[in-house]
């Protein structure tokens, strides 16, 4: 952007990116006093969108993936006479991203035997820049790219000897979800790369796009017979570390915690067309969960979750539409039992007599669950049970227990001896609607 003419700067710039390039252009534009427009795929995580807007750029969300957004970027550039700042397929951009290679060599100890550098690959700009610099200074160092198995455009292109455009890309690692690599980046990678690792074991990924290089490094090293024990192996990261168990839990709760997802229970007439009416009441919000099982000839009980932008306003609008159509809706977004247990147990109601429902919390340590089960199973019948290990310090259990009225006092004594925090959920409306 420093090389733009005064006329180009006055007209403004536009860029397409689902990753760090968007923030780089936005920051540069703000520093230089240039108007910036950033086109991002609709699937771009909200945290990236907010970061770009916070830097002062206008954000346009368009398309299912990077390549659809790229076409819209080209259209807007032509329509508004904006200068397009490409995310990877440009010599200046490649050189700028290549400064990461400069930093690696400066920070690597002089006595370290640098062997391999692993880098995530999307369009190829970052790895092309790093390879161009490092191979000039230390030609013996191997440069290996890493891609997800469902977004491996560079791997396929190098195998074919020409640029290949893949039909669809996976969006889990959204920052590297590119259908076709750049012309210049492909030319450089074809000449300089020592290989591309397609990473398939997603269970080992600690952060989608940023930690692809770490996953690739671990896989590559495990396959080598002659690894230098004194060698230095560099994985380029751009994210926080997180084990997959916690990542699963965070993924389930993050949107709710950020007030971007709502959970509701809905009671609708058991007749053809009711599901469509409920969907239309929620539309255009994205539905993330929809659970139901036939249990009543007159009414259907629905468990649903969907994205929201303004929690109170969105639910108010939806519930007003439902009420006008003779339906009922209840906000259960902050119901702990609904989030931790009921959403995984939806599938039928039971007429189990004398059932009482409890939610327990206990330290997640060896034999804690066994101790819990032994205590309960000594006298009372378990009629419902749900437990899930989320990799945290505490475990959460939902238990339905059949307790006769004459056993209440003895059961209360048992709960005291168990010495685990608990909440009785027998009167919880989610339990009454979906599980009882």
What's the pLDDT tens digit per position in 295-329? 677 887 888 888 898 999 999 999 999 999 999 99
**CA dist list (Å): 350 to 28, 355, 434:** 61, 10, 9
* pLDDT tens per residue, range 389-403: 555 557 778 888 888
Reply yes or no on whether the pLDDT at 376 is more than 70: no
- With CA atoms as reference, report the closest residue to 20 among 1, 38, 35: 38
For residue 243 the two structure tokens come to 């084990």
* 137 compared with 339, residue with greater pLDDT: 137
For residue 341 the two structure tokens come to 């247990």
* 172 compared with 396, residue with greater pLDDT: 396
Q: Is 382 helix (H, G, I), strand (E, B) or coil?
A: strand
CA gap 208, 194 in Å, rounded: 23
0.75 surpassed by pTM: no
The per-residue pLDDT for 345 is 67
- With CA atoms as reference, report the closest residue to 23 among 9, 38, 8: 38
- The confidence band for 91, taking pLDDT boundaries of 50, 70 and 90, is very high
Residue 186 CA to its chain's centroid (Å): 28
Burial 76-100 (b: 16+ CB within 10 A, else e): bbeeeebbbbbbbbbeebbebbbeb
Phi/psi-derived region of residue 376, left when phi > 0, alpha when psi is between -120 and 50, beta in every other case: alpha
For residue 165 the two structure tokens come to 């455009």
- With CA atoms as reference, report the closest residue to 171 among 29, 69, 292: 69
Q: Find out whether 174 and 168 touch, Cβ atoms under 8 Å.
A: no
Which domains are assigned to the chain?
Answer: 6-84 (3.40.50.1100), 91-241 (3.40.50.1100), 258-435 (3.40.1020.10)
Half-sphere exposure of 331 (CA within 13 A, CB side): 17
**Mean pLDDT, to the nearest integer, of 36-49?**
86
**CA dist list (Å): 435 to 204, 259, 288, 295, 424:** 35, 26, 21, 10, 15
Q: Find out whether 14 and 83 touch, Cβ atoms under 8 Å.
A: yes
């Amino acid at each position: 952007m420093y090389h733009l003419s005064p006329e180009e700067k006055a007209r403004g710039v536009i860029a397409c990116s689902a990753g760090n390039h968007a923030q780089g252009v936005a920051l540069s534009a703000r520093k230089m006093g240039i108007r910036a427009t950033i086109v991002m795929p609709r699937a771009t995580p909200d945290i990236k969108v907010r970061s770009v807007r916070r830097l002062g750029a206008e954000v346009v969300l368009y398309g299912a993936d990077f390549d659809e957004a790229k076409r819209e970027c080209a259209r807007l550039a032509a329509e508004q006479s904006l200068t397009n700042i490409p995310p990877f397929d440009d010599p200046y951009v490649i050189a700028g991203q290549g400064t990461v290679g400069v930093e690696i060599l400066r920070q690597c100890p002089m006595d370290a035997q640098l062997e391999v550098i692993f880098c995530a690959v999307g369009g190829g700009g970052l790895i092309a820049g790093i390879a161009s610099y490092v191979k000039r200074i230390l030609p013996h160092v191997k440069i290996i790219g890493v891609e997800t198995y469902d977004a491996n455009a560079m791997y396929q292109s190098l195998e074919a000897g020409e640029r290949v455009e893949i039909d669809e890309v996976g969006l889990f690692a959204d920052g590297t979800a590119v259908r076709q690599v750049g012309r210049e980046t492909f030319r450089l990678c074809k000449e300089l790369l020592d290989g591309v690792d397609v990473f398939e074991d997603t269970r080992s990924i600690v952060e989608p796009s940023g930690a692809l290089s770490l996953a690739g490094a671990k896989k590559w090293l495990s396959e080598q017979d002659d690894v230098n024990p004194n060698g230095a192996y560099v994985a380029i990261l751009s994210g926080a570390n997180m084990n997959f168990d916690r990542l699963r839990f965070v993924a389930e709760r993050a949107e709710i915690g950020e007030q971007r997802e709502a959970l509701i229970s809905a009671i609708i007439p058991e007749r053809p067309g009711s599901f469509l009416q409920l969907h239309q009441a929620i539309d255009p919000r994205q539905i993330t969960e929809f659970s139901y099982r036939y249990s009543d000839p007159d009414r259907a009980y629905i468990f649903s979750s969907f994205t929201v932008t303004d929690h109170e306003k969105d639910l108010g609008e939806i519930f007003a539409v439902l009420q006008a159509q003779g339906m009922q809706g209840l906000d259960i977004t902050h119901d702990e039992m609904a989030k931790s247990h009921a959403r995984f147990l939806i599938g039928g109601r039971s007429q189990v007599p004398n059932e009482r429902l409890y939610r327990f919390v206990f330290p997640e340590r060896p034999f804690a669950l066994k101790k819990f089960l032994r205590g309960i199973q000594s006298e009372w019948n378990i009629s419902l049970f749900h437990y899930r290990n989320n990799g945290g310090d505490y475990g959460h259990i939902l238990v339905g227990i059949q307790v006769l009225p004459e056993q209440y006092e003895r059961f209360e004594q048992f709960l005291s001896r168990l010495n685990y925090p608990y909440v009785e959920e027998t009167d919880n409306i989610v339990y009454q609607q979906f599980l009882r």
